[in-house]
Chains A and B, each alone.
Chain A
Amino acid sequence: MRPLRKLWLSALALLLIASIALFMFKPAPEPIKVGVLHSLTGTMAESEKPLVDALQFAFEEINAKGGLLGRTVQPVVADCRSDAAVCAREAERLIADEHVSALFGCWTSTCRKAVKPVVERHKHLLFYSMQYEGMEFSPNIVYLGATPNQQIIPAVRWALDNLGKTFYLVGSDYVFPRTANLIIKDLIESQGGTILGERYLPLGGKEMASIIDDLLKVKPAVVLNTLNGESNWAFFSAFQRAGLSAQTMPVFSFSLAEAGLLAQSPEVAGHYAAWSYFQSLPGEDNQAFITAFRHRFGASRIVNYPMEFSYIAVHLWKQAVLEARSVNPDAVNHAVLRQSMRSPGGIVAIDATTRHAWKMMRIGRTRSDGLFDIVWESSRLIGPEPYPSYRTRENWERMLNTGVQP
């Protein structure tokens, strides 16, 4: 073969290889950024940190199975510092600067109400996993937490039937406890119960002396507790120090779950809480979930309702992204309304009309190990009624505006 021809042939082969390589090579796709809005410092940190872990766990689960639409999911965690204003600013930053595709977070209603205008302005999407007082609808929030008819109302009814007729209300001074107590008073008084007292502490407040004195004086059959964050620790220790116990005066808590009680001393056994998920639920799905979570975060880790619903939020978001074939918040927002899933605590389904979730409802009594025995369970999923249907929406709003200090 002549040298010139040899040269031509090798050039041709080289060209062929180069073009195949060019064809096969794809640049690594950019990760999907999602925003996590929780308090890592301040009074809410103790409650909210486990939620960040639950979210992290869900994202890792997705990435381990090859990500979403061929991209990995990358959470961007912002610290709300237990301050609603900070949280709103962080939300703005995550959306505008970090270009996240969805936001997961907020614990208190105050926080949610601060973030709401931000997500609405950007036509963005926030997944909110906490139980709350209802009476809200935003086209840009998916509310996974329980509404009053999914938690407070059946719980109060159960307490009336099973624990006694005299009540004492303790709560942190912000929207959720105020509104919840409004409904609670309504119910108790119309069903033959009596309210012996109603006290509020500033969020994070630890001054329990006067409340405990009052409790000792009026001796209610049940204490209904809507305290949030670290105030709970202070309350329960003061409660015990004063010689009060679950046998004589059970406390029914609406914002306190496994992780919260475990941080307390084990002697809190006998008190009650109402959630749609408890770590002690039977069933293979739940066992698998707890095992996997502990494998990742440590064998002694507790899983509770807010954590489970944070985890659920991510998976519902994932399903919606797959259905919409897009991470655009607007497209996902539309698709998420059609989602339902099999979760560790049973089926969870989004109600398209209210943007809230259908879920189970359970009442648990604390054991000495900090977990709960389930003493009551709804027979099927309960539908969300953010504006309880026995009054009109206008009626509720009027009541809120006149009955509660802002």
Chain B
Amino acid sequence: MMRFGISTRLWLATALVAVLPLIVLQQALTAYVGKVMHESIVDHLKLIARSKMAQIEELIGVQQKNIQILAQMRGTRNALKEIDPLFRKGTNAPAYRLARQRYLDMIDNIGNFESVHDVFLIDTSGEVLLTHMEEHDLGASLFSGPLSNTPLSKVVHEALYTLGTSFSDYAWYAPSAAEAAFIATPVMEGSHLLGVLVVQISQRSVNKLTGDYSGLGETGEIVIVERAGDDTVVVAPLRNVQAKPLQMKFSRNIDVPMHLALDGETGVGIRTDYRGKEVLAAWSYLPRAGWGIVVKIDTDEVFKPVRRMQQWSVGVLIALLALTGAVALWLGRSIALPVNVLTRVSGEIAAGNLDKRISYAGNDELGDLAGSFNRMADSLEQTQNALLDERQHLEDTVQQRTIELESTNVHLLQEIADHKVAKAEVLLAQTVYQSMTQGVMVTDSKRNIISVNPAFIKITGFGSAEVIGRKPGFNRSGYHDAAFYSEMWQAISEDGHWEGEIWDRRKDGESFPQWLAISVVRDEQGAVLHYIGVFSDITEQKKSQEKIHYQANYDELTHLPNRRLFYDRMEQDIRKAHRDSTQIALLFIDLDNFKEINDTLGHEQGDQLLRETAQRLRACVRETDTVARLGGDEFTVILPDVQTSSEVEGVAQKIIQSLILPFTLGDNKGYVSASVGITIYPLDGDNYKTLLKNADQAMYEAKRLGKNRFSYFTSAMQQASQERMLLSNELRMAVQQGQFEMYFQPVHDFSTGEVVKAEALIRWRHPQRGLVGPATFITLAEEVGLIGEIGEFAFASSVQQLQAWMEKVPYPMTVAINLSPRQISGQANFEGWIDTMRATGMATDLVTLEITEGSLLEENLSVQRKLRRLREAGFKIAIDDFGTGYSSLSYLKKFDIDFLKIDQSFIRDLATDPNDRALVEAIIVMAHKLGIEVIAEGCETAAQHNVLVQAGCDFIQGYFYARPMPSQDFIRYLGMPRRDI
């Protein structure tokens, strides 16, 4: 029978029990995590695809809206009627030119036609009456002749047939010598068809659709295709392949996702793309344009994390298996080994080798046995060693005595030599004093100069006769204050010595730095005999120090702070931010493609580019911010004391924008872009090393996402940034789809108790989030420039409701509408508002516009002019949140304000805080003196209400009466009996 040792058996058992479960666990875990990761990657792509499609949809949607609005304007109808006869007399006739120009001016004033190449007016028989570009399609007939088979001809025909807005394919259009797509809409007067209005979407704007690959990594691609006959053609430029639009064709037989998209299917999955590569693709059909859109990323890239996870888990498995094996082996050995050792050593001790010990010291029975063995061997060995020690001690004592005697002898000889030397030293000192290059000044105990050496005279220019008898300090530079000197003398009297840098004056009046050492000479009793000052002129040394300092801290090429100074500044800023609890943003900037410039144009041009980059960066930041060059094409920017992320993003954007502009390098132009990584102190690290490292990492993320962009280190901030983008997209959608509603909060006239006003408050009915208040989206709307459209809606809708209420109540109702400062400084269509009011037949003074205090203080002349215009047109003006900003009475008077709204924060503690109460009373009295009426908002309790009434407040608004409500509820509220006060 085979014999298994103890260790082999243990090893086998342990390995079996551990290995099997480990493998099973690893397999299950890998499969599960892989599935979850896979799903989240797919979801991510879906989200990106959806946002890309929304962008593309928007380009067309905006133009559709524009053209429909334009077609319904009287100006367009008139233009068609007017131009038709003029056109017959020739398009060069002055009358035609004039009418044409008037119409084009009108279009310019209306819409955003950025992505439009041309605009057409076409009559019902297909004759082109007017175009903006006046290409050779002007005057042509679309239903016969060379243009009869163009996309323009088809789209006009369809618009005439369906009386609806129609869209063409994207196809070659000879008159423009470019590809083009057209949108056409009928122009009608009542049910009478006058003609067709067409816009031509420019090739440039279609090409731009696929330009933005953010979120799509290195291999992501957006493919836009349409059908041309039996083929599928690529509409907009691709990222991976250079091809002219519409030149790249694919047969329907190839199984690629673009065909699915063109079949009208929507989906996401792993497919093979036109290059034959495996990709994760999302596809969708865009009915307006008739386009299929595929957003895809190579699976190699997108599933890399999954593969990495799998490899990692296999690695861990192998490591764990190895560990298990090792433990099992160790366990087996730990039992078998000591037994062997015990046997061997006890044999040797028995043979007389007393210094042998059992090296095993385990805390178990075997260890105990080994211990007993060792103790026995110890006691044997101790007896033997005691004898040997005694002999050694005796030898040591004799040797030490000999050394002591020798040392005494040497000391005596030394003392004799010293006496001889002292005499020679006095002579030597004299010579040194005369010939040394440092200046020396000796004073008596009263600090009168009694001697100076030749070097003193040479350095200062003063002769010895001029200085002897005077006090040191006769030639002070005046650079140091009295405290400096008194500290110096204190140090001398306490320590007997002082040393330091000091500025004095030469005889010719020039100041110079010197390194001065002052010592006190005392007699044996300790009384002061002399003061001796020794100094050297360190002017030259100083100069070279400064140069060294500059070289050490600044980059020679760009004159920006270098890495070292950057660290210094960073540390300083961090200390300051820590003290003041502020935040710092660190931007890490790396130029994309710099290496190519260096390689192709040479290092000299590369250096020039870096110099100019430095200048541009400096121009992008405040004086107090630090721009540094870390080396190569890496720069950093420190922005201390930042408050909002949009502030940081603003600077980052500015930098990216400014670096994308071409660089003039000799006779060439150089193009680079910048990738910017952003970290925030204290969010992303509390020391500069971590912050820099993380910013560097964020910069790589920006590169990875496609360069020419910025990225945050913190995923939360990155997410917030993306969230803002998403929200602003949704907001844009909301504006298009009219997801806003107006709520109204009643304002009561305190003297009659009637509801005489309503404040209009906007709400966003978000498809997923439900009803959203303005706090969430107004700031964003201001940032992304949607505030104008939202404001227009608020105004139009409020005025419409007002008109409805007028029929319900016997006395005049008024409505208050909030105006954002951005709305005023932007391109708000106030003239349109005045027209709207005129059209409704209601007096403008039924509408109060609520503005913030800040708007009044705005220095911008156009803002002031606009406010005055509104005022003159009859709108009432109220100051919102009064008391929270910096109002000046003179402004209230100057703008002839009608109402003040006291901010809620004063009302809240009105009943309990006498200060607030006094303030509110003062505001009311002051306002009344100026002829201004006062509205209190946020009144919630009867106690607050009483105080306001006693203080003489004119109007009261707040939950005490009612919350903001939809218009129909408001009408019901108007009919309800008034609450008893």
B359 to chain A, nearest CB (A): 42
A338 to chain B, nearest CB (A): 7
Stretch from B27-35, B182-190, B215-223 contacting the other chain: B182-190
Q: Is the CB of A347 within 8 A of B264?
A: yes
Is B162 interfacial (CB-CB < 8 Å)? yes
Considering the chains assembled together, what is the distance between the CA atoms of A381 and B290 in angstroms? 8
Q: Is the CB of B191 within 8 A of A382?
A: no
Q: Is the CB of A382 within 8 A of B164?
A: yes
Q: Contacts A339-B266, A342-B263, A353-B61: A154 and B284 contacting too (C-beta < 8 A)?
A: no
Considering the chains assembled together, what is the distance between the CA atoms of A385 and B159 in angstroms? 12
Q: Contacts A349-B287, A379-B154, A383-B288: A153 and B162 contacting too (C-beta < 8 A)?
A: yes
Contact of B163 among A323, A343, A390 (CB under 8 A): A390
Considering the chains assembled together, what is the distance between the CA atoms of A142 and B736 in angstroms? 19
Is A112 interfacial (CB-CB < 8 Å)? no
Q: Is the CB of A385 within 8 A of B165?
A: yes
Q: Is the CB of A154 within 8 A of B161?
A: yes
Considering the chains assembled together, what is the distance between the CA atoms of A353 and B54 in angstroms? 12
Is A93 interfacial (CB-CB < 8 Å)? no
Is B240 interfacial (CB-CB < 8 Å)? no
Interface secondary structure of A, over-half rule: mixed
Is A49 interfacial (CB-CB < 8 Å)? no
Q: Is the CB of A187 within 8 A of B191?
A: yes
Q: Is the CB of B287 within 8 A of A190?
A: no
Contact of A351 among B71, B193, B266, B287 (CB under 8 A): B287
Is A186 interfacial (CB-CB < 8 Å)? yes
Instruction: Give chain A residues whose Cβ lies under 8 Å from the Cβ of B164.
Output: 149, 153, 382-383, 385, 388-389
Q: Is the CB of A392 within 8 A of B162?
A: no
Q: Is the CB of B191 within 8 A of A189?
A: yes
Is B643 interfacial (CB-CB < 8 Å)? no
Is B792 interfacial (CB-CB < 8 Å)? no
Q: Contacts A154-B161, A382-B164: A338 and B266 contacting too (C-beta < 8 A)?
A: yes
Is A291 interfacial (CB-CB < 8 Å)? no
Q: Contacts A191-B193, A347-B263, A389-B68: A149 and B284 contacting too (C-beta < 8 A)?
A: no
Considering the chains assembled together, what is the distance between the CA atoms of A191 and B190 in angstroms? 12
Is A15 interfacial (CB-CB < 8 Å)? no
> Restricting to B756-798, which residues have a CB under 8 Å from any CB of A?
767-768
Q: Is the CB of A338 within 8 A of B50?
A: yes
Is B167 interfacial (CB-CB < 8 Å)? yes
Q: Contacts A149-B162, A347-B264, A353-B737: A383 and B287 contacting too (C-beta < 8 A)?
A: yes
Instruction: Give chain B residues whose Cβ lies under 8 Å from the Cβ of A149.
Output: 162-164
Q: Is the CB of B185 within 8 A of A150?
A: no
Q: Contacts A389-B185, A390-B163: A341 and B265 contacting too (C-beta < 8 A)?
A: yes
A318 to chain B, nearest CB (A): 12
Instruction: Give chain A residues whose Cβ lies under 8 Å from the Cβ of B154.
Output: 379
Q: Contacts A353-B61, A381-B290, A385-B165: A342 and B265 contacting too (C-beta < 8 A)?
A: yes
Q: Contacts A149-B163, A390-B163: A186 and B191 contacting too (C-beta < 8 A)?
A: yes
Chain A 126-163: CB-based contact to B (< 8 A → 1; otherwise 0): 00000000000000000000000110011001100000
Report the count of interface residues on B (CB-CB < 8 A): 37
Considering the chains assembled together, what is the distance between the CA atoms of A382 and B162 in angstroms? 8
Q: Contacts A190-B192, A390-B188: A383 and B167 contacting too (C-beta < 8 A)?
A: yes
Is B158 interfacial (CB-CB < 8 Å)? yes
Considering the chains assembled together, what is the distance between the CA atoms of A328 and B190 in angstroms? 44
B229 to chain A, nearest CB (A): 13
> Restricting to B674-691, which residues have a CB under 8 Å from any CB of A?
none
B295 to chain A, nearest CB (A): 14
Q: Is the CB of A190 within 8 A of B265?
A: no
Is A334 interfacial (CB-CB < 8 Å)? yes
Instruction: Give chain A residues whose Cβ lies under 8 Å from the Cβ of B266.
Output: 319, 323, 338-341
Instruction: Give chain B residues whose Cβ lies under 8 Å from the Cβ of A190.
Output: 190-193
With most chain A CB atoms within 10 A of its CB, the pick from B71, B287, B767 is B287
Is A326 interfacial (CB-CB < 8 Å)? no
Instruction: Give chain A residues whose Cβ lies under 8 Å from the Cβ of B163.
Output: 149, 153, 157, 187, 388, 390
Contact of B165 among A319, A343, A380, A389 (CB under 8 A): A389
Contact of B767 among A150, A191, A334, A342 (CB under 8 A): A334
Contact of B768 among A334, A342, A361, A380 (CB under 8 A): A334
Considering the chains assembled together, what is the distance between the CA atoms of A323 and B185 in angstroms? 34
Is A224 interfacial (CB-CB < 8 Å)? no
Instruction: Give chain B residues whose Cβ lies under 8 Å from the Cβ of A36.
Output: none
Closest B residue by C-beta to A382: B162
Contact of B285 among A340, A383, A385, A391 (CB under 8 A): A340
Closest A residue by C-beta to B290: A380
Closest A residue by C-beta to B65: A353
Considering the chains assembled together, what is the distance between the CA atoms of A380 and B287 in angstroms? 9
B850 to chain A, nearest CB (A): 28
Instruction: Give chain A residues whose Cβ lies under 8 Å from the Cβ of B192.
Output: 190
Is B572 interfacial (CB-CB < 8 Å)? no
A369 to chain B, nearest CB (A): 29
Is A348 interfacial (CB-CB < 8 Å)? yes
Is A378 interfacial (CB-CB < 8 Å)? yes
Considering the chains assembled together, what is the distance between the CA atoms of A379 and B149 in angstroms? 13
Is B862 interfacial (CB-CB < 8 Å)? no
Q: Contacts A154-B161, A154-B162, A342-B263: A347 and B285 contacting too (C-beta < 8 A)?
A: yes
Q: Is the CB of A392 within 8 A of B72?
A: yes
Q: Is the CB of B264 within 8 A of A341?
A: yes
Q: Is the CB of A150 within 8 A of B193?
A: no
Considering the chains assembled together, what is the distance between the CA atoms of A352 and B72 in angstroms? 23
Chain B 147-181: CB-based contact to A (< 8 A → 1; otherwise 0): 00000001000101111111101000000000000
Considering the chains assembled together, what is the distance between the CA atoms of A342 and B292 in angstroms? 13
Closest B residue by C-beta to A320: B266
Considering the chains assembled together, what is the distance between the CA atoms of A347 and B265 in angstroms? 8
Instruction: Give chain A residues whose Cβ lies under 8 Å from the Cβ of B165.
Output: 383, 385, 389
A153 to chain B, nearest CB (A): 5
Instruction: Give chain B residues whose Cβ lies under 8 Å from the Cβ of A346.
Output: 264
Instruction: Give chain A residues whose Cβ lies under 8 Å from the Cβ of B72.
Output: 389-392
Considering the chains assembled together, what is the distance between the CA atoms of A323 and B47 in angstroms? 11
Considering the chains assembled together, what is the distance between the CA atoms of A389 and B68 in angstroms? 7
B184 to chain A, nearest CB (A): 11
Instruction: Give chain A residues whose Cβ lies under 8 Å from the Cβ of B264.
Output: 340-343, 346-349
Contact of A358 among B61, B68, B287 (CB under 8 A): B287
Instruction: Give chain A residues whose Cβ lies under 8 Å from the Cβ of B162.
Output: 149-150, 153-154, 361, 378, 382
Considering the chains assembled together, what is the distance between the CA atoms of A158 and B163 in angstroms? 12
Instruction: Give chain B residues whose Cβ lies under 8 Å from the Cβ of A338.
Output: 50, 266, 284
B149 to chain A, nearest CB (A): 12
Closest B residue by C-beta to A331: B768
Instruction: Give chain A residues whose Cβ lies under 8 Å from the Cβ of B185.
Output: 389
Instruction: Give chain B residues whose Cβ lies under 8 Å from the Cβ of A150.
Output: 162
Considering the chains assembled together, what is the distance between the CA atoms of A340 and B57 in angstroms? 14
Instruction: Give chain B residues whose Cβ lies under 8 Å from the Cβ of A361.
Output: 162
Considering the chains assembled together, what is the distance between the CA atoms of A44 and B218 in angstroms? 59
Q: Is the CB of B265 within 8 A of A340?
A: yes
Instruction: Give chain A residues whose Cβ lies under 8 Å from the Cβ of B186.
Output: 389-390
A162 to chain B, nearest CB (A): 12
B35 to chain A, nearest CB (A): 15
A281 to chain B, nearest CB (A): 15
With most chain B CB atoms within 10 A of its CB, the pick from A348, A383, A389 is A389
Q: Contacts A389-B68, A389-B165, A389-B185: A340 and B284 contacting too (C-beta < 8 A)?
A: yes
Considering the chains assembled together, what is the distance between the CA atoms of A340 and B262 in angstroms? 10
Q: Contacts A353-B61, A379-B158, A382-B162: A340 and B188 contacting too (C-beta < 8 A)?
A: no
List 8 other contacts, CB 8 Å, given A383-B166, A383-B287, A385-B165.
Answer: A186-B191, A339-B266, A341-B264, A347-B285, A353-B737, A358-B287, A382-B158, A389-B71
6 contacts between A and B (CB under 8 A): A338-B284, A340-B266, A342-B264, A361-B162, A380-B290, A383-B288
Task: Return the 7 tightest CB-CB contacts between A and B, nearest first.
Answer: A347-B264, A358-B287, A186-B191, A149-B164, A390-B188, A349-B287, A190-B191
- Interface residues, chain B, CB within 8 Å of chain A? 50, 61, 68, 71-72, 154, 158, 160-167, 169, 185-188, 190-193, 263-266, 284-285, 287-288, 290, 736-737, 767-768
